[in-house]
Amino acid sequence: MSMGCFPIYTRILLTLLLCFFSTFFSSQAAPYALRISCGASKDVRTWPTNTLWRKDFAYTGGVIADATSHSRSRITPPLSTLRVFPLSEGPQNCYIINQVPAGHYAVRIFFDLVADPNFDSEPLFDVSIDGTLVDSLNAGWSTHDDERVFTEALVFLSDDSASLCFHSTGHGDPAIISIEILQVDDKAYNFGPLSGQGSILKTVKRVSCGERRPMFDEDYGGGGLGGDRFWNSLTTFGQSSETAIFGKGTIQRTSLAPNFYPQALYQTALVSTDAQPELTYTMDVEPNSDYSVWLHFAEIDPSITKAGQRVFDILINGDVAFKDVDVISMSGGLKTALVLNTTVAVDGRSLTVSLLPVTGSHAIINAIEVFKIIAAESKTFYTEVNALQSLKNALQLPRRLGWNGDPCVPLQHPWTGAACQFDNAKKRWFIDGLIYGLPKFSSCAAHPTSGIRADYD
Ligand SMILES: *[C@@H]1O[C@H](CO)[C@@H](O)[C@H](O)[C@H]1NC(C)=O
């Protein structure tokens, strides 16, 4: 072998090593992502992103049905099956997904309608994640192309499992088309001191200003720890006088931790005009709740070239949230992303973001995100839940009794007959009478004070 061969072998070897290491390290760093096509009997891939959806598993009951052909919502994943939870199987049914590593996740559940002409009613039901009620569907959800066709929440999952439960409210049978559990950065959407394990952020609204069609992070070329957010398109704030701008060049400071916003989000914006110098965006919200508001800016308007030329105040429901916002000076330059977040308490049923010019007569905005802040419920001691499940199996109780998920939470939907009490020290629920475990239950009837009462209806 001549000496000249060495470099070639070395290069091949190096390439192989590099391939090996990059695969090794990228798989180490890859965020957890699980997508389920509910009702599907085999794995499915969807166009155009080639997204993998696992075949259906982890459900506690229900039946398979065909989904409508998505004539109503264009943003629902193009999957063809559903899992329907008939009321006859009990008022609460769940997906209990195990082996989800403890962490911070974007959990998203799309609903859909059953493809049956006689099955026209739109089901209305409650949705809980790990025992916290995160959504109650409102009439009309199925005829929209927005956040109403899914529930999405940022949650911290512990205990290696995620329980997603659907609580019938007597208006039709819950029908679920897909579930996504996508890991996000531990500090994603950190909104201040109350942020963390004790809070859940439920997505209320996410709009990309000046964008012409709805986009997911993946459509924007984003990915990784972003959670594949859905961005609805917003071409006007309602006054129809704004100008949509597009700036194709590179935007600085995008795709950064902890939120990893895609660059393309900042390449469109809405700018006010002389006819309507103030930009005002109003959305419906649930009253008496706290909201986390995230506002996105990048100066992509060629008519603005340096700091001081465009300054505006930002008001939320009439109160100044940010004064004298100068995007160029705050972000550090032209075409540079600026993200502002604030928390507001809302008493009424609407949340209004207003941008009022201070210097220069026009305001600019690239995107808006609004989350409802929900206090995460404490769960019931695992041993208690386990004991109840064993009891249910031992007694061969019918499915209708639907003992799935957590017996004590959400507080709005406890299991019938479970007398729950809170252990303040351990921050966990327990069931009165069950504290010593199952044996006490083998003689249920002899214990009138036991936690399980006889009224199972
Ligand atoms: C959001 O705002 C809070 C309060 O001002 C701040 O502590 C936090 O760091 C901000 N979050 C991000 C991700 O910028």
Supply the pLDDT for residue 400.
65
Closest ligand 1 atom number to CA of residue 189 = 13
* CA–centroid distance, residue 379 to ligand 1 (Å): 28
Supply the pLDDT for residue 417.
72
Closest ligand 1 atom number to CA of residue 342 = 2
Share the mean pLDDT of the chain. Answer: 86
How far apart are the C-alpha atoms of 209 and 453, rounded to whole Å? 55
Supply the pLDDT for residue 90.
82
Q: What is the mean pLDDT of residues 258-269?
A: 97
* CA–centroid distance, residue 188 to ligand 1 (Å): 10
Nearest partner of 164 among 144, 135, 137, 198, judged by Cα: 135
Q: Are β-strands 367-375 and 199-209 bridged in parallel, bridged antiparallel, or unpaired?
A: antiparallel
Cα angle 234, 235, 236 (rounded to 5 degrees) comes to 95
* CA–centroid distance, residue 321 to ligand 1 (Å): 13
Residue 158 scores a pLDDT above 80: yes
Closest ligand 1 atom number to CA of residue 188 = 13
Highest mean pLDDT among 16-20, 135-139, 385-389, 450-454: 135-139
Q: What is the mean pLDDT of residues 233-238?
A: 89
Q: What is the pTM of this model?
A: 0.87
Residue 405 scores a pLDDT above 60: yes
Residue 239 scores a pLDDT above 80: no
- Closest residue (by CA) to atom 6 of ligand 1? 192
343 C-beta closer than 6 A to ligand 1: no
* CA–centroid distance, residue 271 to ligand 1 (Å): 25
341 C-beta closer than 6 A to ligand 1: yes
Supply the pLDDT for residue 310.
97
Per the model's pLDDT, the better-predicted residue between 31 and 10 turns out to be 31
Instruction: At 414, list the tokens.
Output: 């406890």
- Closest residue (by CA) to atom 4 of ligand 1? 192
Q: How confident is the model at residue 118 (pLDDT cuts 50, 70, 90)?
A: low
How far apart are the C-alpha atoms of 45 and 403, rounded to whole Å? 33
Closest ligand 1 atom number to CA of residue 339 = 14
Q: How confident is the model at residue 443 (pLDDT cuts 50, 70, 90)?
A: very low
Percent of the chain scoring above 70 in pLDDT: 85
Supply the pLDDT for residue 384.
83
* CA–centroid distance, residue 259 to ligand 1 (Å): 11
- Closest residue (by CA) to atom 7 of ligand 1? 192
Q: How many residues does the chain have?
A: 457
- Closest residue (by CA) to atom 12 of ligand 1? 190
Q: What is the mean pLDDT of residues 357-379?
A: 95
Residue 153 scores a pLDDT above 90: yes
Supply the pLDDT for residue 89.
84
Q: How confident is the model at residue 423 (pLDDT cuts 50, 70, 90)?
A: very high
Supply the pLDDT for residue 4.
39
- Under 8 Å between Cβ of 147 and 230: yes
- Under 8 Å between Cβ of 96 and 405: yes
- Segment 165-190, tens digit of pLDDT: 999 988 999 999 999 999 999 999 99
The domain defined by 33-184 folds into: Jelly Rolls (2.60.120)
Closest ligand 1 atom number to CA of residue 258 = 13
Residues in a beta bridge with 232: 207
Supply the pLDDT for residue 71.
60
Q: What is the mean pLDDT of residues 349-364?
A: 96
Residue of 184, 187, 190, 369 to test ligand 1 pocket, by largest number of atoms within 8 Å of CB: 190
Closest ligand 1 atom number to CA of residue 191 = 1
Q: What is the mean pLDDT of residues 398-410?
A: 76
Residue of 184, 191, 296, 370 to test ligand 1 pocket, by largest number of atoms within 8 Å of CB: 191
The domain defined by 204-375 folds into: Jelly Rolls (2.60.120)
Instruction: At 271, list the tokens.
Output: 């700018």
Supply the pLDDT for residue 29.
60
192 C-beta closer than 6 A to ligand 1: yes
Question: Is the peptide bond prior to 48 cis by the omega test (within 30 degrees of 0)?
Answer: yes
- Closest residue (by CA) to atom 1 of ligand 1? 191
25: number of Cβ within 10 Å: 10
Instruction: Identify residue 375 by its one-letter amino acid code.
Output: A
Per the model's pLDDT, the better-predicted residue between 320 and 449 turns out to be 320
- Segment 47-92, tens digit of pLDDT: 888 899 999 999 999 999 999 876 678 899 999 999 999 988 888 8
* CA–centroid distance, residue 192 to ligand 1 (Å): 5
